[in-house]
Each structure stands twice: as structure tokens, then as C-alpha cells.
Amino acid sequence: SYYKNIEETEKDIDAFITLTKDEALRTARNIDEKIANNEEVGLLAGIPIAVKDNIATRGIKTTCGSKILENFVSPYDATVVEKIKREDAIIIGKTNMDEFAMGSSTETSYFKKTKNPHDLERVPGGSSGGSAAAVAGFEAPLSLGSETGGSVREPASFCGVVGLKPTYGLISRYGLIAFASSLDQIGPFARNVEDTALLLSVLAGYDEKDSTSVENKSIDYTKELNSNVKGMKFALPKEYFGEGIDEKVKAKVLEAVEVLKGLGAEVEEISLPYTEYALSCYYIISTSEASSNLARFDGIRYGYRAENYKDLDELYINTRSEGFGEEVKRRIMLGTFALSSGYYDAYYNKAQKIRTLIKRDFDKAFEKYDAIISPTAPILPFKIGEKINDPLSMYMSDILTVSVNLAGVCAISVPCGNLNGLPVGLQIIGDRFKEQKILNIAYTYE
């Protein structure tokens, strides 16, 4: 039935890079058989899942939205893929994304431009735009995305679905193609909070293959799901409702905050003073780490190799010049510059210090408040083409999301209404490992 939906809508939405119909139907039949034979099946038995194309899937292409990995087939499954397979989910395809997850609109993909199912002239957000659009467009009930600086929450907001960025270390990064390793996390998309909680329960947990994975017990987030916010205290950071935020988006979010008050929660305004530096800090740290992580794409070890070269240096240069797109090259150059001798202290080291201060802003807020609430994105989904030639204005769409990644805390985006048919997302930020709490708060909006 989902493939029927895909046949009807995929030509308009373009959410997928690869569809895996034959394999998916075979898996589905096996699960049917298991059920017919009264064999035990997993938590996600028979549920189709779309997977972002930077998450390794054995035997299925993993392109990362890039020409340099156009024909790359991973020899192993990412830990999250192993986990969903173990629970009998069905992978129905790999979704479109900004190249190497660098972008906020899915327009930097080498392959195609994904459209927002609510308005086909607009972007679905990014970089996990394909995964968000697939769920919003009824091409999949669940999907996996990844976050380095908002790439699950911003597209969730733009597409009117739920998206969660887990605490750093909660979900294994093994098999996620690295962008900025100190920030990267995989996150679930779903059409409602309960489904998000279910998928998160499957994904979370310690993995010895990821050295930053935190040793914790597995949790069933659906069991404790409730919308009792009575007596909770919420903070509205004034920096998240200030300059650069669309007045109508702000009003919609404040309207939604009234719902929490009505249910007996206390809401106060606070200040997170280092917010001002979050974007600059994020773009220095993430590009620095990216410049190092992407050094492995050299035409020797993986994927694309240039046809014409005279010697080894030229092989590297031509492969990378031809294989990477503009945005990826821009990030590699920015990161290489920030890490270079003479500039390292001024940029990279300074950014690391600011990162600590941003984290302390959050630590202080969570001493007093259960969660921080804000819009997820400062603006409504914009038109395709509107920002692609203006990187700085594109980077501005991350202004409300990147601090969460820098601090390593968790956050969820939940739909809180529409403006002219375009969805608005409400962001709920929680302290480290408070996923259950933010899911419960989000649950009040269902």
C-alpha cells in the first residue's frame, strides 16, 4: 500500500534516491509467513521505514547525496539499520538529502530537489528533507534522519511532522557517514509523538562500535508516554523570540504555549545570552570537523575516481574537484582555514570555548526548568531556489537549532498549527537524556 502511495506521489515529491521495492516485498512476505506460523515478530513488524542516504545499508547504495559516492554500496549495515531489521521493519528506500548533510533545504543534493508535500514550490527543509517529506507525503510512516545542526528538526517543522534530535551518545553513530563527529546524531521522524517514541525505543542504546555511545539501559519510551504537564516549569528564551524570527511564526508558537499554561504548567521568560554566538561557533566547529572527516574521499578508498590524471596528486585533486559539489567544497575550505596554523587559536580554539559557554547556558536553565520552548525554525518553508545562492541567509535558518547540538542536549519538533497551509513547528528542548520528558510534553499537542 505504501508503494502504491509512492507510485502516485513520488514524481511530485522526489523524496527518494533509491527505492528497494523487490527486497522490501520479499521481507514483507517473510514477516507475513512468520505471523502465519505463529512465530514471534519484532516491535516494528511489517512497518515500512525510509532511511536517510548517509546511513549505511548493506547491499543498497548509500550515496550521501553526493556524486563522489554515487555508486557506493556499503559492505555492512549501520547499527541503527541492524536494529530496525532485528525488529522486523521493512526498509523501503533511501531518502534524498543535502550533499554530506550540508544544507537546510535538501537543494545541495547531487541527485534531485525534494519538494515540500504541503506546497510543491517550497523546500522540505534539510538536510534530512527526503526523510521528512516521505513521512509527510504518506510515502512512509516512519523514517530515519541525521542531525549535525538541526537537520531533523528543521525539516520536521517545514513538513509538519514530528522529528527528534536525541542526546549526543544515545543512538549509535556506527555506519552514519561522518559530517562533524562531535555533533552528529541519528534521529527519528514520524507522523505523531507515539510513533516517534516507538522508533526511538528501538534506536537508542549502547553500542560498543561507537566510542561516544553512552552506556545506558534500553528504555521503552511508549510505556510512560503521558501528557501530564501540570506543575512543570517551562522557559521561553528571549533570544529565540527576537530578531530574525517571523512575527507570525512567533505568534503561532506563543499561542501553542498557552495550551501548556492551560494544563497547569508555569511559563517564564529567560535569557540564554550566548545564543548570539551559536551560529558562528557551529559553522567553525562543524566545518573544521568536516574538513578532516571528508579527507577520506580521495578516489582511492571509496566511490568516484576521476578519469584523467597524470600522477597521484592530480588523481586526488581531480577526483575531489569533480566529485564534491559547491557547498561541500565551501565547507572543506572554511574548515581547513579554521584549523590551519596561525588561525587555529583565533577560530577553532575560540569556538570550542564558546561551545562550553553555550552548554553552561543550558545547564543553568535546566537547574530550574523542565524544558525550553521556542519555534523550531525562524521562518516558514521558503521557495525552492530562494536561498541557494546566498549561503549566509541559508545558514540563518539554523539559528534556533544549532545550540542544542553544540550542547549535546535533546530536542523535539512537533507541529503546532499552520499559516496559509504551511506547517509551523514548536521546539521543546530538554536536558541530557530527558527524551521521555520532551516526548511527554510534545504529546500534549496530539
Q: Supply the residues annotated as catalytic.
A: 52, 127, 151
Touching ligand GLN, residues 382-411 (CB under 6 A): 398
Least distance from C-beta 54 to ligand GLN, angstroms? Answer: 9
- Residue 331 has a CB neighbour count (10 Å cut-off) of 26
**Among residues 9, 57, 95, 104, the one that binds ligand GLN under rule CB under 6 A:** 104
101 touches ligand GLN (CB under 6 A): yes
119 touches ligand GLN (CB under 6 A): no
- Judged by CB under 6 A, the stretch of 99-107, 230-238, 354-362, 364-372 that binds ligand GLN is 99-107
Output the CA–CA distances (angstroms, integers) from residue 426 to 191, 371, 408, in the order listed.
Answer: 14, 12, 19
- Rg of the chain over all Cα atoms, to the nearest angstrom: 21
CB nearer ligand GLN, residue 13 or residue 183: 183
Tell me the one-letter amino acid at 5.
N
Cell 509467513, residue located: 33
148 touches ligand GLN (CB under 6 A): yes
- Judged by CB under 6 A, the stretch of 76-84, 95-103, 132-140, 370-378 that binds ligand GLN is 95-103
**Among residues 286, 319, 427, 436, the one that binds ligand GLN under rule CB under 6 A:** 286
The whole-angstrom separation of Cα 111 and Cα 97 is 9
**Among residues 116, 151, 275, 403, the one that binds ligand GLN under rule CB under 6 A:** 151
Q: Is 237 exposed, middle or buried (0-12, 13-18, 19+ CB in 10 A)?
A: buried
Contact 111, 152 (CB under 8 A): no
**Among residues 6, 102, 204, 412, the one that binds ligand GLN under rule CB under 6 A:** 102
30 Cβ neighbours under 8 A, 6+ residues apart: none
Least distance from C-beta 203 to ligand GLN, angstroms? Answer: 17
- Judged by CB under 6 A, the stretch of 63-71, 115-123, 145-153, 308-316 that binds ligand GLN is 145-153
**Among residues 117, 124, 137, 149, the one that binds ligand GLN under rule CB under 6 A:** 149
**Among residues 103, 166, 169, 299, the one that binds ligand GLN under rule CB under 6 A:** 103
CB nearer ligand GLN, residue 127 or residue 201: 127
Output the CA–CA distances (angstroms, integers) from residue 200 to 52, 137, 220, 318, 355, in the order listed.
Answer: 16, 21, 8, 41, 27
Cell 549535525, residue located: 148
Torsion (CA) 18, 21, 25, 31 in degrees, nearest 10: 10
The CA-CA-CA angle for residues 361, 189, 30, to 5°, reads 145
Residues in touch with ligand GLN (CB under 6 A): 101-104, 127, 147-151, 179, 286, 398
